[in-house]
């Protein structure tokens, strides 16, 4: 074949003829199947049948920020709602390194011994920054990750803590409709995300470590008050005594708190997630709690209160998004910000102007 590049005028450039290529490079390669779009009914039917692939795809929709995905997700959630609620929801919290994933792996195997299905979800608002969550990471739960009756899902990463938490809460509904009767929600031990986790679980378990004796100072009062059970991990080797001492400190400290609404006095236990010691005792305590709160009506009360809380959260989030996503408002915001920073207007006046404008726009 003649190549124009080989013309005299292009000195130093020579193009050779190539070799003839076979029509198929790898005859064994299969074409990837294009995933069929599922309808709302496909999702609901798949979830109710316990199809994990469909459940995972539905959770991906819940986590998506795209409006069309959200529209389908919301319909799926609504249709799954009547089939949800039949599970025990347990929040598990602790600072990084407390042993959450080691423990969840062991706790999970323990609860699955009696049958049923377990979903491990997570709330980690930092996951957006770290691009990929550390919580709920399958590789951290060696046994559960290969267990046929366990479903592990890392934290949703899009948006604010409120957004992340709402998505986890919606995922709980889908998992329950899919027959998961045990739900763990893992969270990091840093204030806000624990409150969010507490607002969607029936039992809140706080994992602590024995420290230098002043561990109580580092833990915020509000978090102690949220806990239905405190467990001191790594009570093994020559750490047993320290762990027991820490447990005594926590028990003493709990005396100074008012009796929780549940009427249940939080218990403090020691255990070792790594060596699997004291696991049964922790689960006996949790079982006792459920019997206690189901008998005194607190179980239903807490769930109803949570439903109310999430209704308001949802309203707040929608209103906020609607305000900030309004085109007129978002152009005005920049100017308002500058005015406030330069002291031309007070924050309150600037806010009031923007809100007045927003309400005017709504009327039109």
CA distance to 107, 112, 139, 152, per residue, from 146 (Å): 15, 13, 10, 10
Tokens of 78: 């609504």
User: Any contact of residue 102 with ligand GDP (CB under 6 A)?
Assistant: yes
Least separation in angstroms between CB 29 and ligand GDP: 39
Per CB under 6 A, which of residues 228..257 are in contact with ligand GDP?
233-234, 236
Per CB under 6 A, which of residues 138..197 are in contact with ligand GDP?
140
Stretch of 81-89, 97-105, 307-315, 347-355 contacting ligand GDP, by CB under 6 A: 97-105
Stretch of 36-44, 60-68, 94-102, 284-292 contacting ligand GDP, by CB under 6 A: 94-102
Other Cβ atoms within 10 Å of 26 Cβ, number: 7
Least separation in angstroms between CB 236 and ligand GDP: 5
User: Any contact of residue 91 with ligand GDP (CB under 6 A)?
Assistant: no
| Binding residue (CB under 6 A) for ligand GDP from 274, 283, 290, 292 | 274
Name which of 279 and 354 has its Cβ closer to ligand GDP: 279
Least separation in angstroms between CB 342 and ligand GDP: 45
Going by their DSSP bridges, the two strands 118-123 and 267-270 should be labelled as unpaired
Least separation in angstroms between CB 282 and ligand GDP: 12
Stretch of 14-22, 75-83, 267-275, 354-362 contacting ligand GDP, by CB under 6 A: 267-275
User: Any contact of residue 273 with ligand GDP (CB under 6 A)?
Assistant: yes
Tell which residue, 33, 57, 34, 35, has the closest CA to residue 45.
57
Stretch of 4-12, 25-33, 270-278, 327-335 contacting ligand GDP, by CB under 6 A: 270-278
On the CB side of 277, CA atoms within 13 Å amount to 13
CA dihedral 299, 55, 111, 306 (to 10 degrees): -20
Tell which residue, 100, 93, 313, 134, has the closest CA to residue 223.
93
User: Any contact of residue 98 with ligand GDP (CB under 6 A)?
Assistant: yes
Name which of 69 and 138 has its Cβ closer to ligand GDP: 138
Beta carbons of 238 and 264 less than 8 angstroms apart: no
User: Any contact of residue 123 with ligand GDP (CB under 6 A)?
Assistant: no
Phi then psi for residue 259, to 5 deg, are -60, 130
Stretch of 92-100, 157-165, 191-199, 210-218 contacting ligand GDP, by CB under 6 A: 92-100
Beta carbons of 189 and 93 less than 8 angstroms apart: yes
Name which of 176 and 186 has its Cβ closer to ligand GDP: 186
Beta carbons of 282 and 227 less than 8 angstroms apart: no
Tokens of 355: 């809100």
DSSP, collapsed to helix, strand or coil, labels residue 292 as: helix
Least separation in angstroms between CB 290 and ligand GDP: 24
Least separation in angstroms between CB 93 and ligand GDP: 9
Name which of 96 and 132 has its Cβ closer to ligand GDP: 96
User: Any contact of residue 208 with ligand GDP (CB under 6 A)?
Assistant: no
Q: How far apart are CA 176 and CA 182, in angstroms?
A: 8
3-state helix, strand, coil split of the chain in percent (to 5) is 55, 10, 35
User: Any contact of residue 109 with ligand GDP (CB under 6 A)?
Assistant: no
On the CB side of 358, CA atoms within 13 Å amount to 20
Count, residues near ligand GDP per rule CB under 6 A: 15
Binding site for ligand GDP (CB under 6 A): 94, 96-102, 140, 233-234, 236, 272-274
């Amino acid at each position: 074949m003649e190549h124009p590049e080989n013309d005299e005028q292009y000195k130093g450039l020579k193009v050779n003829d190539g070799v003839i290529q076979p029509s198929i490079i790898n005859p064994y390669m299969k074409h990837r199947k294009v995933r069929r779009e599922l309808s709302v009914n496909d999702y609901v039917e798949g979830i109710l049948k316990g199809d994990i692939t469909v459940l995972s795809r539905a959770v991906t929709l819940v986590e998506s920020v795209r409006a069309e995905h959200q529209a389908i997700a919301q319909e799926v959630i609504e249709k799954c709602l009547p089939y949800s609620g039949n599970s025990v929801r347990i929040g598990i919290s602790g600072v990084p390194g407390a042993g959450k994933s080691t423990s969840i792996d062991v706790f999970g195997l323990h609860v699955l011994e009696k049958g049923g299905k377990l979903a491990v979800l997570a709330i980690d608002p930092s996951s957006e920054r770290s691009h990929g969550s550390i919580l709920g990471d399958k590789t951290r739960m060696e046994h559960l990750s290969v267990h046929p009756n366990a479903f592990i899902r890392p934290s949703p990463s899009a948006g604010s803590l409120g957004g992340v938490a709402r998505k986890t809460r919606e995922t709980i509904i889908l998992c329950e409709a899919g027959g998961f009767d045990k739900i763990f929600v893992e969270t990091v031990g840093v204030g806000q995300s624990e409150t969010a986790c507490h607002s969607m679980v029936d039992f809140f378990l706080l994992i602590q470590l024995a420290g230098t004796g002043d561990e109580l100072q580092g833990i915020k009062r509000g978090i102690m008050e949220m806990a239905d059970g405190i467990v001191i991990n790594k009570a093994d080797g020559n750490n047993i005594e320290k762990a027991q001492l820490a447990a005594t400190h926590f028990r003493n400290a709990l005396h100074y708190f008012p009796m929780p609404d549940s009427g249940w006095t939080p218990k403090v236990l020691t255990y070792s997630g790594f060596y699997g010691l004291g696991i049964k005792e922790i689960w006996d305590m949790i079982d006792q709690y459920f019997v206690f709160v189901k008998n005194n009506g607190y179980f239903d009360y807490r769930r109803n209160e949570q439903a109310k809380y999430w209704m308001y959260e949802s309203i707040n989030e929608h209103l906020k998004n609607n305000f900030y996503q309004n085109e007129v408002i978002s152009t005005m915001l920049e100017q308002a910000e500058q005015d406030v920073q330069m002291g031309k207007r007070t924050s309150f006046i600037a806010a009031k102007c923007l809100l007045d404008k927003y309400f005017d726009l709504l009327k039109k």
